[in-house]
């Protein structure tokens, strides 16, 4: 078989997203062409863009979304705003893909791969690490963080039953107290204009609800969040959940709906309603909404915040992998 590798643009990759069989390799929202392009435009890294598309008999079998700085290559993206990163490969084509990419990178003078935010099933850990070791490259992979996720049952009652007894009673008690406080509505908006209009309130809640979030939200990251809202609603992947009490917004969440999973990206709440646990309840009501929609997984994403475990989440180890060529 004949193989080739071409350097693509973000726009040319977009046409590949919906084109089987390559589309089956887009494992999460954080590697989609729209996300990669937005991150690159907003953060403007000094590195060289490397969007290597490997073709077998003329058909794309995978994409390497990388940035190269001097002799080091890393994924496009950053750990502070991108939870999972990986190569995009048609299942079953990993060996052929990595052979071509490694040869091309080495020819370009790359001598080190710094690959972060790797889920256990990432192609880096399941395929590339072994291929690199067979080439006698130096490979060091180690845990760097955790993510927390929840397999969703068929009904909300079943979900409550999977919680530990104490947490189940707490969720029911807090829901009851919230419902007794006034007219409660948890509504979802996904129209670009509506989401963009609501971003001012969301960002205010985001910074007021936790001091670390206030420190995190630099002007650059605020610009990224606003652009993200417009871009990802434009391709029908981002939604905003708003918990209202007597028509007043008290908590808001940004999440992605992709591939049967819900990704809880960020959230905030009005500190005036702390006593009603509106931040936690917005997640509970979002989980209920996802169950009603038939979703299979609720991903709390990176971070070991206690509430994620209280709501039934299970820990997933995230790793980084350092590969040095010989």
What is the per-residue DSSP string for 106-158? HHTT--EEEEEEE-TT-HIIIIIHHHHHHTT-EEEEEEEEEEEEEE--SSHHH
Domain range enclosing 130: 3-147+317-324
Is residue 306 in a domain? no
pLDDT band of 18, cuts 50, 70, 90: low
On whether both 129 and 260 belong to a single domain, the answer is: no
Q: What is the CATH number of the domain that holds 227?
A: 3.40.630.30
What mean pLDDT comes out for the span 115-144? 98
Residues 157 and 273 in one domain: yes
pLDDT band per the 50, 70, 90 thresholds, residue 19: low
Structural domain count, the chain: 2
Q: Are residues 39 and 8 in the same domain?
A: yes
Is 94 part of any domain?
A: yes
Same structural domain for residues 96 and 228?
no
167 lies in some domain: yes
- Per-residue pLDDT tens for 3-15? 999 999 999 988 7
Is residue 301 assigned to a domain?
no
- Specify the pTM: 0.93
**Residue 20 confidence (pLDDT):** 46
Mean pLDDT of 251-270: 96
pLDDT, averaged across the chain: 95
């Amino acid at each position: 078989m004949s193989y080739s590798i071409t350097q693509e643009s973000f726009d040319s990759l977009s046409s590949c997203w919906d084109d089987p069989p390559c589309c089956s390799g887009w494992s999460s929202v954080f590697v989609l062409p729209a996300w990669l392009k937005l991150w690159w435009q907003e953060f403007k890294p000094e590195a060289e863009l490397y969007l290597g598309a490997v073709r077998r008999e003329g058909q794309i079998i995978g994409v390497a979304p990388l940035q190269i700085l001097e002799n080091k290559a890393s994924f496009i993206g950053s750990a502070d705003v991108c939870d999972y990163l990986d190569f995009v490969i048609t299942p079953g084509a990993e060996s052929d893909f990595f052979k071509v990419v490694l040869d091309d990178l080495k020819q370009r003078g790359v001598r080190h791969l710094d690959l972060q935010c790797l889920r256990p099933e990432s192609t880096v850990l399941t395929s590339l690490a072994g291929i690199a070791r067979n080439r006698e490259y130096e490979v060091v992979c180690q845990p760097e963080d955790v993510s927390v996720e929840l397999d969703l049952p068929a009904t909300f009652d079943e979900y409550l039953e999977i919680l530990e007894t104490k947490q189940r009673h707490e969720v029911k008690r807090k829901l009851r107290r919230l419902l007794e406080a006034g007219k409660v509505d948890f509504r979802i908006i996904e129209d670009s204009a509506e989401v963009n209009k609501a971003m001012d309130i969301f960002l205010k809640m985001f910074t007021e609800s936790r001091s670390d979030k206030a420190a995190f939200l630099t002007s650059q990251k605020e610009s990224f969040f606003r652009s993200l809202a417009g871009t990802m609603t434009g391709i029908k992947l981002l939604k905003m959940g708003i918990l209202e009490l007597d028509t007043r917004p008290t908590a808001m969440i940004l999440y992605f709906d992709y591939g049967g999973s819900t990704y809880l990206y960020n959230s905030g709440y009005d500190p005036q309603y702390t006593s009603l646990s509106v931040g936690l309840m917005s997640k509970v009501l979002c989980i209920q909404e996802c169950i009603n929609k038939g979703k299979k997984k609720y991903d709390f994403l990176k971070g070991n915040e206690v509430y994620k475990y209280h709501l039934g989440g299970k820990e997933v180890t995230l790793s980084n992998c350092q590969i040095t060529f010989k």
